Every structure is written in C-alpha cells, then in structure tokens.
Amino acid sequence: MSSLSMDTFSSDALDQRALSMNQAWGLKQMVSSMTSITTPGTGVGTQAANLDQRHAPVRRCRTITVCGGKGGVGKTTVAVNLGMTLAMMGRETMLLDADMGLANVDVLLGLAPSRHLGHMLDGQCSLQDLLLPAPHGLTVIPAGSGTRRLAQMGNTEQAAVIRAFDELPQPPEFLLVDTAAGISDSVAMFAAAADDVVLVVCDEPASITDAYALAKVLRRDFGVKRFHMVANMVRNLGEAKALHQKLARVTDRFLDVMLDFMGWVPQDERLRQAIRRQCAVVDAAPGSRSAQAFKLLAGAADTWAEPDRPGLDRIAFFSGQAAPATGW
Ligand SMILES: Nc1ncnc2c1ncn2[C@@H]1O[C@H](COP(=O)(O)OP(=O)(O)O)[C@@H](O)[C@H]1O
Ligand SMILES: [Mg+2]
C-alpha cells in the first residue's frame, strides 16, 4: 500500500488506459448514435434535444464515500440507510456498491440485479444500464458477489468505474459509495475520489485502531484531510461523543486531519429485524430509533459546507465539477 501515492492515480497514462478500457462500450455507443441520426423520425428532434441538454446547467453532485477500516461495523448499513433517507427527502440519490467481489447492498435491499460493474468493465453495458431502482427513488449500482473478476480489480479498472460517472447525462444530487473493509487501494481510491469521507466506527478497540489506520493512509498517501465520524451501535449520545473523543485524540495528535462528529446510530434490534427482511430500517420501521438517527445524519450531510474540491490532481467522481460551485 505504502508505495501508492496520489501520483499513482493521476498520470495521463492511467487515464488513457481507463479510457481505452471503455472503448468497447464507446464503440457500441458511437454506432448506436449514428443509427439514431439516420433512423427516420428520430433525426433532427433527437439532435436538438441533445443540444438542449448540452447547454442545460449541469447539476452538482455531492459524493460521499462510507468506510471504516474494520468489517462488520455498519458501513453498508449506514450507506444504505443514509442513501435511502436522502432519497426520501426528495434528493436524487445513487448508491454505488464498491465492496467489489463481496457486494451486499443488493442483498440488504432485496434486489436482484442481472448485471453488475464487471459487465460494464467488460464492455457489455454502460453505467446507465446498471442503474437499479430501489424503494423511495434510491438508485443502486450493484457490484457482483463471489466474483473474482471484481475482487481482483486493479487500479486502472477502478479509475474506469469512477470515470464512468462522467458519462451520466445528469448527475444525481448525492452519490454514496459503500466500500469494503480494510485499507486496500480499492477503499482508498474510492475515498479519495469523493468530496467527503464518512468513517463508521463502533466502540471496539479494533474498530478504533482500524479507523485510525485508514485515516492515516488516506491522509498520507491520498491527501484526504477531512473526515466525518459516525458512531454506530452505541447506546446514547454520551457514548457516541466519548467514542469520537477517543479517535479524535489520536488523529489530532498524530495526523493533520479534521475529524468532525457527524452523529450516531443506536444499537437497535429493529434495524436487525429489517436486515433479516432485506429492507432498509428507514423504510421498514421509520419510527424506530435508528431510523430517526439516520434522518439526523442525512440532515447533516445535506447541510455540509461546500467541499474543497482538489479535483484536478487526482481521479475524482464527476471531475468536470472541479470548478468552484455556485451553491448546493
Ligand atoms: N445500529 C445497529 N444496530 C444493530 N445492529 C447493527 C447496527 N449496525 C449494524 N448492525 C449489525 O451489524 C451487521 C454488519 O453490518 P454491515 O453494515 O454489513 O457492516 P459492514 O458493512 O461494516 O461490514 C449487520 O448485519 C447488523 O446485524
Ligand atoms: Mg459492508
């Protein structure tokens, strides 16, 4: 891991390789767009509509990667419920499952995708073909489970996944990214590509040390300076704040990062019940304590200050949005 740096992901060569990986799909698209121009009844109108789209103001998307280092701390639970709460608030939200090879966002939501990111990388479909509707208007982008092809995905292919979002005709308002456990290049790259990084931590020594290790790698090798901490499976606000202080004590002392307290989610049996029924708790039990907590977390994310988008010096989601925002 330590041999990687931001430069590893910023070279033109990497971009070029990522682009050429999409060539198969690009070619198909080119052919189909040529067909649409020559097909009677779709010619001028389609072109005019495309032109209008090009000139329409492009909406900005806030990208949030959910990670935590340790497995089983609630990363997927937070990503799914935060995403669905934002969708329920009327925010157009996408959730990318980036736990490559052991993806389970679709399982948590009882979805049955027929295609996943592997198909896109093999040129068999576009990102748009993968968009899977989930309850309350949330859109899921599934990754395969038990797929060595995805589990062994390299940096070039990850760059291609991130770049694929630039092809969406209209970005959503929020893109959430659920990541794998550990401090692999995969996790780090998806975190570094987002505007904001949420660290999910629970009150166990291994969770705290793993979250610290991840923050250290992201700061040292990828230049990530700001983290939002969610205390999961705690009993009350006091316990959540104490957990934040434990982690902040070490990050303040040894890393030059900002670790803000985003909020907390209680240990909640109704959340477990919802998981067993393959539903998000915010959907299955909106009055539950955990669902209420997710509302507060979504409210917080909705009001975060405009991100400091480094944009151009590394691979980022919606890199075309690197220019200063005109407001959220
Ligand atoms: N707030 C919570 N209350 C009760 N159980 C929880 C909570 N958050 C997570 N869990 C339990 O922890 C398990 C692992 O959560 P998950 O989100 O899959 O973790 P990760 O993605 O970090 O590996 C869930 O299946 C659920 O049983
Ligand atoms: Mg997970």
Residue 75 lies in a domain: yes
Ligand nearest to the CA of 68: 1
Residue 156 lies in a domain: yes
Which of 77, 108, 236, 292 maximizes ligand 1 atoms within 8 Å of its Cβ, making it the mutation to test the pocket?
Answer: 77
Q: Which residues surround ligand 2, an ion (CB under 5 A)?
A: 75-76
Ligand nearest to the CA of 105: 2
Q: What is the pLDDT of residues 287-328, one digit of tens each?
A: 999 999 999 999 999 998 776 665 446 789 988 765 433 332
Residue 126 lies in a domain: yes
- Return mean pLDDT, the chain: 83
Q: What is the pLDDT of residues 39-55, one digit of tens each?
A: 333 333 444 444 444 44
- pLDDT for res 7: 43
Residue 280 lies in a domain: yes
Ligand nearest to the CA of 285: 1
- pLDDT for res 58: 55
Supply the residue whose CA is at minimum distance from atom 17 of ligand 1: 74
Which of 74, 318, 67 minimizes the C-alpha distance to 216? 67
Q: Find out whether 123 and 25 touch, Cβ atoms under 8 Å.
A: yes
Q: Find out whether 142 and 106 touch, Cβ atoms under 8 Å.
A: yes
Which of 244, 234, 199, 206 minimizes the C-alpha distance to 66? 199
pLDDT band of 31, cuts 50, 70, 90:
very low
| Ligand 1 centroid – CA 326 distance (Å) | 37
Ligand 1 pocket, Cβ-based, cut-off 6 angstroms? 68, 71-77, 181, 232-233, 265, 267-268, 271-272, 275, 290
Residue 311 lies in a domain: no
- pLDDT for res 101: 80
Q: Find out whether 217 and 248 touch, Cβ atoms under 8 Å.
A: no
Residue 54 lies in a domain: yes
With 80 as the cut, is the pLDDT of residue 95 above it? Answer: yes
Q: Find out whether 169 and 53 touch, Cβ atoms under 8 Å.
A: yes
**Higher local confidence (pLDDT), 273 or 43:** 273
Q: What is the pLDDT of residues 213-272, one digit of tens each?
A: 999 999 999 999 999 999 999 999 999 999 999 999 999 999 999 999 999 999 999 999
With 50 as the cut, is the pLDDT of residue 275 above it? Answer: yes
Secondary structure class of 266 (helix, strand, coil): strand
CATH at 263 = 3.40.50.300
| Ligand 2 centroid – CA 299 distance (Å) | 23
In which domain, by residue range, is 141 found? 6-303
Residue 308 lies in a domain: no
- pLDDT for res 20: 41
Residue 121 lies in a domain: yes
In ligand 1, the atom with minimum distance to the C-alpha of 275 is 25
pLDDT band of 27, cuts 50, 70, 90:
very low
Q: Say if strands 132-133 and 139-141 run parallel, antiparallel, or are unpaired.
A: antiparallel
- pLDDT for res 220: 95
Q: What is the pLDDT of residues 147-173, one digit of tens each?
A: 788 888 889 999 999 999 999 999 999
| Ligand 2 centroid – CA 261 distance (Å) | 21
Specify the number of domains making up the chain: 1
